[in-house]
């Protein structure tokens, strides 16, 4: 309750309570509390990977679900992502040491002629929040930049964003280039942006249209799992 | 009441605004990736055709081709320094077309968003945003715009900056936000919050409302949200001609001219005074809208069911008024930290 303003001492909470509290703090975008929580769990001997998945990714899942359901909006999600990022900043070097695997690597960018990046940034943050590695190409990307980055980064996923009806057809130009070069099957292609819809995604040959950042994360997880299964079966 | 739009608002029950800028220019050969504002210099005949298309179809007011002529957007094309100049050109061509129309036609100087997130979440400060909008506004004023038309805004902070710029430029203002996310703007602004903010802006607009967003139905639901509050400011409705579809390599909006004619009279019945289209709205839509507004009598305030039946369903269950927020599943809060 709002009127019950007892200070909570994070270090006095047991592990389960602390993780719950960190989910709440992520939801409220409290950066310093997240940093403190991450450090406490590490001091208690938690593996960096567990801190990432249980405390941070778990919390961002709630944020993502409420964003998808129209309960939270962009400003709140940006704050939460910012807090998440502060926690990741502590975990990243530790994760690298332990050689923990990531669940996939994504190259993302807004297409040529389009300078909108709010939606793309949100997707990038939420994907990182879900444990993906994200290489952000920024705005106004010609087809060559996408191809070069996919190759260089050994990416699994290509994410393209467009917010203008005048720029969304460019997504097809990029996908057609992948097909021409025989590279299309190497990547999962996700597209998004306000004027798009599922029908458009299908028409241009993307694997999926993602309505928002939360859907992008869920879709990426599902399609990555399918890709792994196919590789295992093959 | 010295400005042309105030005079027109005083005389008329409804004003027909224009339709799409981007969709029209795209059809004239603008390729994806190019800044439309360069055409104010290099393809003036096409910009004249864009404006004339609206005026000849019966629009009383049209927007200039300056949506993205602010320093932030033009920076992408290495033309940030040309913001004022390109804005001026957009308005100059508009002034000329309006003056030759043979009837009063308002030149509205379009100002779209900067495309950046405002501080503290993003990097764009209030001061810089004001400066960018002001620079664009001065160009539009020099070119002869009657009114500034700030549109497609989703953040209240950005709207405040644009209103401050209008005050600095000493220009009348119209302002619309885009409601595309569960009935709210991308930044979560409800129709009610925008209506209240509009009345408190440093520069109170002559009219306020909604543009773009999802489809015509959603837009009218937002307009009903505005008018239910009973404020004094005239309301603007500028909805898309349906939903974009991808057909043979082009974007096509599925709203027919007849559907937009229905939309126009429903917009008036919902409480809007300035009525136009946005993406996908072509001169043939505007002609039907004009004819419908002239020939069909004003009707009662439509219900949501009626709007859905005549224009198509809504994109979300939430109506974006915020009234249903209490009904949203309450998150179990553990404890708040003091």
A79-120 pLDDT, tens digit per residue, is: 898 898 899 889 988 887 877 666 789 999 999 877 677 778
Judge whether A138 is closer than 8 Å to chain B, CB to CB. Answer: no
Instruction: Give the orientation angle of helix A74-98 with respect to helix A58-68, to 10 degrees.
Output: 150
What is the pLDDT, as a whole number, of residue A100?
67
User: B246 vs B231, which has greater pLDDT?
Assistant: B231
Local confidence band at B326 (pLDDT 50, 70, 90 cut-offs): very low
Handedness of CA B154, B156, B162, B163 (dihedral sign): positive
Out of A206-210, B166-170, B252-256, B287-291, least confident range: B252-256
Pairing mode, if any, of strands B244-247 and B250-253? antiparallel
CB contact under 8 A, A6 and B249: no
Contact (CB<8Å) A169/B243: no
pLDDT at position B145 is 98
Q: Which of A73, A165, A170 sits opposite B23 (nearest CB)?
A: A165
B159-169: pLDDT as tens digits: 999 999 999 99
Question: Does ipTM surpass 0.95 in this model?
Answer: no
What pLDDT was estimated at residue B327?
44
- Are A141 and A167 contacting, i.e. CB atoms less than 8 angstroms apart? no
Report pLDDT digits (tens) over B81-106: 999 999 999 999 999 999 999 999 99
Distance (Å) from the alpha carbon of A101 to chain B's nearest alpha carbon: 31
- In this structure, the number of other CB atoms found within 10 A of the CB of residue A68 comes to 17
Question: Where does the pLDDT of residue B32 fall: very low under 50, low under 70, confident under 90, or very high at 90 and above?
Answer: low
% of residues, chain A, pLDDT over 90 = 52
Mean pLDDT of chain B: 92
Cα of B93 to nearest chain A Cα, Å: 23
Mean pLDDT of A181-191: 96
Structure letter (DSSP) for residue A196: -
User: What is the pLDDT averaged over residues A203-228?
Assistant: 91
Q: Is the pLDDT of residue A136 over 50?
A: yes
Which of B30, B317, B337, B338 to substitute to test the interface with A, most A CBs within 10 Å? B337
- Supply A61's token pair: 């899942």
What pLDDT, on the 0 to 100 scale, is given for residue A163?
Answer: 78
pLDDT over 90 at A229, yes or no: no
Check CB contact of A90 with chain B, cutoff 8 Å: no
pLDDT of B328: 46
User: B4-300 has which fold?
Assistant: TIM Barrel (3.20.20)
Percent of chain B at pLDDT above 70?
94
The answer to whether residue A200 scores a pLDDT higher than 50 is yes
Better-predicted residue by pLDDT, B244 or B145: B145
What are residue B183's phi and psi, to 5 degrees?
Answer: 80, -5
Name the residue with higher pLDDT: A162 or B83.
Answer: B83
A3: confidence class by pLDDT, cuts 50, 70, 90: very low
The percentage of residues in chain B with a pLDDT greater than 90, rounded to a whole number, is 77
Is the per-residue pLDDT at A175 higher than 80? yes
Chain A residues within 8 A of B246 when measuring between CB atoms: 168-169, 199-200, 203-204
Interchain contact A112–B (C-beta under 8 A): yes
Reported as a single tens digit per residue, the pLDDT across B38-57 is: 999 999 999 999 999 999 99
The answer to whether A104 and A128 are in contact (CB under 8 A) is no
Across A109-113, B62-66, B274-278, least confident range: A109-113
Give pLDDT, residue B76.
80
Cα dihedral sign, A91-A92-A98-A104: positive
| Residue B335 near chain A (CB below 8 Å) | yes
Question: Is the bond preceding B120 in cis, omega lying within 30 degrees of 0?
Answer: yes
So where are chain B's domains?
4-300
Three-class SS of residue A209? Answer: strand
Residue B324 has a pLDDT of: 62
Q: What is the rounded distance in angstroms from the CA atom of residue A66 to the CA atom of residue B327?
A: 14
For residue B243, give the nearest of B285, B274, B213, B276 by alpha carbon. B213
Q: Are the C-beta atoms of B156 and B293 separated by less than 8 Å?
A: no
Instruction: With CB atoms and an 8 Å threshold, state whether B245 touches A199.
Output: yes
- pLDDT at residue A214, rounded to an integer: 82
Q: Residues B90, B97: contact at Cβ < 8 Å?
A: no
| A13 contact B CB<8A | no
User: A19 pLDDT band (50/70/90 cuts)?
Assistant: very high
Q: How far is CA A217 from the centre of its chain?
A: 6
Which residue, A131, A18, A116, is CA-closest to A84?
A131
Rounded to an integer, the average pLDDT of A143-165 is: 93
Poorest-pLDDT segment among A88-102, B65-79, B260-274: A88-102
pLDDT-above-70 percentage for chain A:
95
- Higher-pLDDT residue of B27 and A2 is B27
Has residue A22 got a pLDDT over 70? Answer: yes
Give B298's DSSP letter: P
Find the mean pLDDT for residues A206-229: 90
Q: Which helix (H) or strand (E) holds A19?
A: helix A15-27
Question: What's the pLDDT score for residue B84?
Answer: 98
pLDDT band at residue B214 under the 50/70/90 scheme: confident
């Amino acid at each position: 309750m709002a009127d019950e303003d007892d200070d909570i001492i994070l270090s006095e909470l047991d592990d389960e309570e602390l993780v719950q509290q960190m989910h709440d703090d992520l939801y409220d975008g409290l950066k310093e509390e997240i940093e403190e929580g991450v450090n406490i769990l590490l001091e208690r001997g938690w593996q960096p990977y567990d801190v990432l998945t249980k405390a941070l990714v778990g919390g961002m899942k709630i944020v993502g679900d409420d964003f998808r359901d129209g309960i939270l909006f962009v400003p709140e999600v940006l704050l939460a992502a910012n807090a998440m990022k502060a926690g990741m900043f502590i975990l990243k070097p530790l994760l690298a040491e332990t050689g923990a695997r990531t669940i996939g690597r994504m190259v993302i960018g807004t297409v040529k002629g389009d300078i909108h990046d709010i939606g793309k940034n949100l997707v990038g943050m939420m994907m990182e929040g879900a444990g993906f590695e994200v290489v952000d190409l920024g705005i106004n990307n010609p087809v060559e930049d996408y191809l070069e980055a996919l190759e260089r980064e050994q990416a699994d996923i290509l994410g393209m964003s467009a917010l203008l009806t005048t720029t969304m057809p460019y997504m097809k130009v990029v996908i057609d280039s992948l097909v021409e070069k025989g590279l299309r099957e190497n990547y999962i292609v996700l597209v998004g942006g306000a004027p798009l819809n599922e029908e458009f995604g299908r028409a241009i040959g993307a694997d999926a249209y993602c309505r928002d950042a939360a859907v992008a994360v869920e879709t990426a997880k599902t399609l990555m799992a399918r890709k792994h299964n196919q590789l295992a079966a093959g | 009441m010295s400005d042309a739009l105030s005079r027109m608002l005083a005389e008329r029950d409804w004003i027909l605004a224009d339709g799409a800028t981007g969709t029209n220019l795209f059809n004239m050969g603008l390729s994806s990736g190019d800044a439309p504002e360069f055409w104010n210099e290099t393809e003036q005949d096409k910009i004249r055709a864009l404006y004339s298309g609206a005026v000849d179809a019966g629009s009383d007011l049209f927007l200039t081709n300056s949506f993205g002529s602010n320093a932030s957007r033009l920076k992408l094309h290495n033309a940030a320094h040309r913001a004022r100049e390109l804005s001026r050109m957009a308005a100059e061509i508009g002034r000329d077309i309006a003056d030759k129309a043979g009837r009063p036609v308002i030149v509205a100087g379009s100002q779209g968003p900067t495309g950046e997130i405002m501080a503290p979440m993003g990097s764009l400060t209030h001061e810089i945003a004001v400066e960018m909008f002001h620079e664009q506004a001065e160009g539009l004023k020099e070119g002869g715009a009657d009114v500034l038309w700030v549109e497609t805004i989703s953040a209240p902070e950005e709207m405040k900056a644009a209103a401050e710029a209008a005050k600095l430029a000493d220009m009348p203002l119209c302002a619309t936000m885009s409601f595309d996310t569960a009935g709210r703007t991308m930044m979560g602004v409800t129709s009610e919050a925008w209506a209240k903010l509009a009345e408190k802006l440093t520069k109170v607009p002559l009219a306020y409302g909604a543009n773009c967003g999802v489809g015509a139905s959603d837009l009218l639901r937002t307009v009903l949200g505005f008018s239910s509050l009973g404020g004094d400011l005239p309301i603007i409705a500028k909805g898309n001609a349906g939903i974009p579809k991808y057909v043979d390599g082009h974007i096509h909006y599925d709203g027919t001219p007849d559907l937009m004619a229905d939309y126009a009279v429903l917009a008036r019945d919902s409480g809007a005074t300035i009525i136009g289209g946005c993406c996908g709205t072509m001169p043939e839509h505007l002609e039907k809208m004009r004819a419908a507004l002239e020939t069909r009598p004003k009707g009662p305030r439509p219900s949501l069911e009626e709007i859905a039946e005549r224009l198509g369903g809504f994109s979300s269950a939430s109506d974006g008024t915020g009234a249903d927020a209490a009904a949203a599943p309450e998150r179990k809060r553990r404890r708040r930290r003091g």
